[in-house]
Structure 1
Amino acid sequence: MGFNNNNLESFKNKKDLIDELYYYKSIILKKIKNGDYNSALEKVRSALVLIEEHKDSFNIEKELLDFYNINKKVRDDLVNHRMIYERRFNNLLKEKLSENNLENFSKLLAMLKNEVDQNLDKYNLQHISANITKYFKYIKKMYEILSCYRVLNYHNASDKIFDFVRDIKTENFPNLKMLISLTYQNLIRNRLYLCSKECDKLTLSDLSQKMAINQDQLIDFINLIQKQPKSPIQDYIPRTQEVVFKKSRY
Structure 2
Amino acid sequence: MSSNQNIDRYKQKKEIIEELDFYESIILKKMDINDFNSALIKIDSALTFLKEYQTEFDLEKETKKFTQLQQKLRVEFDNHRNLYIRRYNNLRKETLTEANLENFIKLLAMLKNEVDNNLNQYNLHDLRDAINTYFTYIKKLYTIISSYKVLNYNDASGKILSYIKELKMVNFPNLKVLVTMIYQNLLFFQFQLMSEKYDKLSLREISEMLSIAPERVEDLINLLIDNPKSPIKKYIQYNREVIFNK
The change in CA–CA distance for 1:10 and 1:233 in structure 2 (over 3 A counts) is farther
Q: Is the 8 A contact 1:146 1:157 kept in 2?
A: no
Query: Percent same amino acid among aligned pairs?
Result: 49
Q: Look up the match of 1:68.
A: 67
Contact 2:34 2:121 in 1 (8 A): yes
* Off by >4 Å, runs of 4+ in structure 1: 9-13
**Match for residue 245 of structure 1?**
244
Paired residue for 1:143? 142
C-alpha root-mean-square deviation of aligned residues, in Å? 1.9
Matched, 1:30 2:29: yes
* 205-214 vs 16-25, greater mean Cα deviation: 16-25
Q: Which residue of 2 aligns with 1:179?
A: 178
Could you tell me which amino acid in structure 2 is paired with residue 42 of structure 1?
I
1:100-121 CA distances to partner (integer Å, 9 max, x unpaired)? 1111211221122122112222
Structure 2: any 5+ residue segments left out of the alignment?
A: 1-7
SS of the residue corresponding to residue 175 of structure 1 reads: helix
Deviates more, 1:156-165 or 1:234-243: 234-243
Q: CA deviation at 1:12?
A: 5.2
Kindly indicate whether residue 209 of structure 2 is the aligned counterpart of residue 228 of structure 1: no
TM-score, normalised relative to structure 2: 0.90
What is the distance in 1 between the residues matched to 2:135 and 2:22? 46
SS of the aligned residue for 1:172 comes to: coil
Kept after mapping to 1: 8 A contact 2:149/2:186:
no
1:93-112 equivalent positions in 2, closer than 5 A: 93-112=92-111
Q: Show structure 1 runs of 5+ residues with no match.
A: 1-8
Task: Normalising by structure 1, report the TM-score.
Answer: 0.89
Equivalenced residue count is 239
Deviation readout 1:133-174 (Å, 9 max, x if unpaired): 111111111122112222253221110111111001132211
- Matched-pair contact (CA < 8 Å) for 1:48–1:64: yes
Give, in whole Å, the separation in 2 of the partners of 1:117 and 1:30: 21
Question: Is 1:148–1:154's contact at 8 Å kept on the other side of the alignment?
Answer: no
Q: Deviations over 1:200-224 (max 9, x none)?
A: 1101111111112111111111111
User: Using the alignment, how far apart are the partners of 2:223 and 2:104 within structure 1?
Assistant: 28
1:152–1:231 CA distance, 2 compared to 1 (3 A)? farther
SS in 2 for 1:150: coil
Deviations 1:56-109 (A, max 9, x none): 122221211111111122222222221111111112112211111111211221
Partner Cα separation in structure 2 for residue 152 and residue 46 of structure 1:
60
Q: Measure the CA separation in 1 of the matches of 2:236 and 2:114.
A: 56
18 and 141 in structure 1: CA distance in 2 versus 1, 3 angstrom threshold: same
| 1:185 positional shift | 0.9
Q: Give the Cα–Cα distance (whole angstroms) in 2 for the partners of residues 88 and 190 of structure 1.
A: 36
Q: Is the 8 A contact 1:192 1:232 kept in 2?
A: yes
